[in-house]
Amino acid sequence: MRDITDPRMLRAMAHPVRLKLMNSLVTHGPATATELAGQIDDSPANCSWHLRQLAKFGFIEEATDLPYKGRNRPWRWVPVANRWHNPDDSPEFAAASADASSTLLGIELAEHTKWVASMPRQPREWQTASFTEQHIAWLTADELAEAQSAINEIISRHKDRTTDPAKRPRGSRPVRFIAWGNPAY
């Protein structure tokens, strides 16, 4: 787990185009700026610039072990989970954190909305396995921290499948998870 403490690093990650690029690299694997441009409906030049910014902060890296010609070099996601927020954050970092969370949740909500719209066309087993849940539970701060740890542990069990396609079971698909736990007002 990487704790992001630099507001510049957080802003670099939280740009909508950059989040789409990282999502595409996680979902589809290494790709060039031109390939990514087609996947996220943007220009190769713009994708190339944003990829270099992500690499500058270690979110992605050049896939130097893969063949490429000239400037068409492939990029890959660096498989590190990111966490940001600390009660002692500076006002600048707190603002960047709020912006990053809002941008990330906006993208995830759009992806969830697309899934819901596509559900009638999806295989029955995927319709049944997918879920949206909402709960309110009375917890202590320690219990909330324990819930976070348990969720991370469950999802992390299959982390190696993200970067190693050979470890993906037949019939598996990329699955998006978003979770939060915060006190209700």
pLDDT string in tens for the chain (185-residue length): 889 999 999 999 999 999 999 999 999 999 999 999 999 999 999 999 999 999 999 999 999 888 776 678 899 999 988 888 877 888 989 999 999 999 999 999 999 999 999 999 999 999 999 999 999 999 999 999 999 999 999 998 998 898 888 999 999 999 999 888 888 87
Q: pTM of the full predicted structure?
A: 0.82
Q: What pLDDT shows up at residue 118?
A: 96
Contact at 8 Å (CB) between 26 and 44? no
Q: What pLDDT shows up at residue 52?
A: 96
Using CA atoms, how far apart are residues 15 and 21, in angstroms rounded to an integer?
10
Helix residue ranges per DSSP H, 58-159:
91-118, 124-129, 141-156
Q: What pLDDT shows up at residue 58?
A: 95
Beta bridge partners of 65: none
Inter-CA distances, 152 with 102, 104, 143, 155, Å: 21, 18, 14, 5
Q: Which domains does the chain have, with CATH numbers?
A: 2-123 (1.10.10.10)
Using CA atoms, how far apart are residues 44 and 152, in angstroms rounded to an integer?
34
Tell me the residue ranges of DSSP E strands in 1-128.
2-3, 60-62, 75-77, 82-83
